[in-house]
Amino acid sequence: MDGADAVEKAHQLAPDLILMDFSMPQMNGVQAARKIVESGPNIPILLFTLNLSPQIMELARKAGLRGAMSKSEISKLPYAIKAIQRGETFFWAS
């Protein structure tokens, strides 16, 4: 799947939550998430990526994502999902 596919699927499926990787062809996960957020569906998006830098985390915040975390912190994923579903944010840097 690439970023354009993610945007299209978000509109078609209207999921309760999106886990978005940063590294994708055509457009990265933050760019795809920004398009989803701007187009209106109020779908919470969590950036879940292997290499999470402070710069990527800041881009995610500015794009309207509800959270960002590294895949190396997978044990915290359930907490992130619950927080985001409650309308909170979850930005975790290891």
Give alpha helix (H) positions in the chain. 3-13, 29-38, 54-63, 77-85
Helix (H) or strand (E) holding 69: strand 67-70
Residue spans of the domains in the chain: they are 3-89
Which fold does the domain 3-89 belong to in CATH? Rossmann fold (3.40.50)
Neighbours of 53 (CB within 10 A): 12
Give me the chain's average pLDDT, please: 93
Question: Quick one: average pLDDT of 73-77?
Answer: 95
pTM: 0.92
Question: Quick one: average pLDDT of 44-48?
Answer: 96
Contacts of 31 (CB under 8 A, 6+ apart): 3, 63
Question: Quick one: average pLDDT of 65-76?
Answer: 96
